[in-house]
A and B are shown apart, each in its own frame.
Chain A
Amino acid sequence: MPSTRLRRAQPIPTGVGIGLRPAHIERVLEQRPAVPFFELHSENLFCAGGPMWDVFEQVRRDYPVSLHGVGLSLGSADALDPAHLRRLREVIARAAPALVSEHVCWGAIGGRHFNDLLPLPYTEEALALMVEHIDELQHTLQRQVLLENVSSYIHYIHSTMPEWEFLGELARRSGCGLLLDVNNVYVNSINHGIDAVRYLDSIDPAAVGEIHLAGFSRQEGLGGPLLIDSHDHRVDPAVWRLYAHAIERVGAKPTLIEWDQQLPAFEILEDEARIATEHLHACAAEPV
């Protein structure tokens, strides 16, 4: 049941949090590791009650929490799913997270959901639609949301602007913040031959509310370079370098280590967080 103790959100500190997955919940609740914040998928709390909410409320008592949605399909040419939006509003009202985020993608059309983060063409039409849907989302939730750039394996040749320009316009026109996934920037730079540094340099520092880091895997034998945003490895050295550049550029921001497949021991995630923390401390732009 909702606890009134949980109403006030603890702010997300400018430290390195960890994406909390079911396999690590027991460890976290028993040992209360020194993690600045945890992030959970919003849809994991779409259930009305039960153990997932029990766990959430225990975590929420001791840690700031951000909720990261994966299923709203903001870029769908269809209207937003009213049931999904309503449930998200209820979850956010009950959970009172410090941050709420979603993705710059689509995932459903004609009532069929693909439960994946599918790429948009970077066109005025897609931009206008995304802005409209973000307006609806922010109005419904009565708060700003952060929108994450996604990795992609497809580039549409009729895109009329680069991805970074699309993101910048999205933030400017809708008032949303950006969740800058540095791994996704790197993955897309390899997959589509774009300049990752130029991408980061074009991002408005003030728009960035959070940074994500994760590991990728390489898909071989397709005739060209392809990285998959698999969240099943340590952060790649090239992504660490890009992260260092990113925080030098946008300043120290709350950063999250994501790992979803072939989940390692929690200590590995803590070690990744330690490395990111060292980068944050070294960030000249805004010392932590």
Chain B
Amino acid sequence: MPAPPSLSELQAGFARAMIDGAAPALLPWIGMRGIEPAARLQIYRNAILATQVASLVTSFPAVERMLGVDCFDGWATRYAAWHGSRSGNLQNLGDDFADYLETQAELSGMRWLGELARLDWLRQCTILAADARALDAVALQAALLAAGDDPLLHLLPCVRAIAAPFPLLDLWRHCESPQTLAVDLDGGAQGVLLWREDGQVAMQACIPAIVALVTALKQGKRVSAAVEAAHTLDPDAPLDALLGPLLTRALIHHVSDH
């Protein structure tokens, strides 16, 4: 019998068994006691996939409702087997699940599926984001006056935004209540603004220009540059329409000049 595997070799072999379902070099080092070593490894493989798929179910509820439990389970299992997890924290699993779904030829008829998955993922990011207090109207006004002509607006950490070439939020809500809410997938582009309110994710449909504005602000761009990014999508969008949701929903954390 050859020398036993080092710990590193053993774990690499175990990993291959979990990923590929076969690890011939590892099998001789696993005791039988009436059960084939391969069957013992398969118990772990099944458990790992079940855990990771359950995590994806939690993170992608709308996609699961849209595909159905069995179909989702199939795609989630394939993703978990192919991509695996890159973190000991399962909350991080699924960051590129949307990209994965979009590249699957069998799902190409569902052109909206990737964006739906992205919205599910952003909802999770929103719920897990850091806590912070928003400026109230008086404090915001004072901060804007103090910050000069072209300030930086720092949004609450929970704020996210996404735009799609179809009514994404309508589709997400349809997944929640398919019997009562219809969706017209040819209804044109729609943005979605997300934030956290009373411990829940709040969402509001918006024009895609607002998504561009929010994205630019989150990248640390000044108001003028963020508005310019919004105007590349909608040159006629007035400033108050662009900033309106951030002000009325109290999503600004602080204002600075640098």
Which residues of A are in contact with B by a Cβ distance under 8 Å?
Answer: 1, 43, 46-54, 70-73, 76-77, 81, 83-84, 87, 106-116, 118, 120-121, 123, 125-126, 129, 153-158, 191-193, 219, 222-226, 228
Contacts and interface: CB of A to CB of B under 8 A. Distances in A.
B34 interface: yes
Interface residues of B, number: 51
B88 A156 contact: no
Contact of A113 (B7, B41, B87): B87
Contacts of A51: 127, 199-200
A108 B35 contact: no
Given A84-B89, A110-B15, A223-B34, A49 B131 contact: yes
Nearest to A87: B89
Interface string B44-68: 1001100110010000000000000
Interface stretch (B25-33, B164-172, B215-223): B25-33
B86 A47 contact: no
A10 to B, nearest CB: 23
B40 interface: yes
B86 A112 contact: yes
A112 B131 contact: no
Given A71-B87, A84-B89, 13 more contacts: A49-B130, A50-B196, A50-B199, A108-B88, A109-B14, A111-B86, A112-B84, A113-B87, A115-B52, A115-B90, A156-B30, A192-B31, A223-B35
A50 B85 contact: no
Contacts of B32: 224
A53 B199 CA distance: 10
Interface string B71-86: 0000000000000111
Contacts of B93: 115
Nearest to B131: A49
A56 B11 CA distance: 35
A48 B151 CA distance: 27
Contact of B40 (A77, A153, A193): A153
Which 6 pairs show the lowest CB-CB distances between chains A and B? A224-B34, A71-B88, A49-B131, A48-B130, A158-B4, A47-B128
A163 to B, nearest CB: 13
Nearest to A80: B88
Given A112-B84, A154-B40, A77 B8 contact: yes
A50 B131 contact: yes
Residue with the greatest number of chain B CB neighbours at <10 A, chosen from A83, A106, A125, A153: A153
B137 interface: no
A52 B87 CA distance: 19
Contacts of B29: 121, 156-158
A223 to B, nearest CB: 5
Contacts of A71: 87-90
16 contacts: A48-B131, A49-B128, A50-B158, A52-B128, A71-B89, A72-B88, A76-B11, A77-B6, A109-B12, A114-B84, A115-B48, A115-B55, A123-B7, A154-B41, A155-B30, A223-B35
A156 B18 CA distance: 17
Contacts of B132: 49
Contact of B43 (A43, A48, A109, A153): A153
A109 B86 CA distance: 10
B51 A115 contact: yes
A43 B11 CA distance: 23
A46 B89 contact: yes
Given A47-B128, A49-B129, A155 B90 contact: no
B22 interface: no
A192 B33 contact: yes
Contacts of B11: 76-77, 106, 109, 118
The interface centre, meaning the residue of A50, A84, A107, A129 with most chain B CB atoms within 10 A of its CB, is A50
B64 to A, nearest CB: 18
A51 B7 CA distance: 40
B43 A219 contact: yes
Contact of A125 (B7, B14, B131): B7
Nearest to B157: A48
A158 to B, nearest CB: 4
A173 B179 CA distance: 62
Contact of A73 (B5, B86, B88, B158): B88
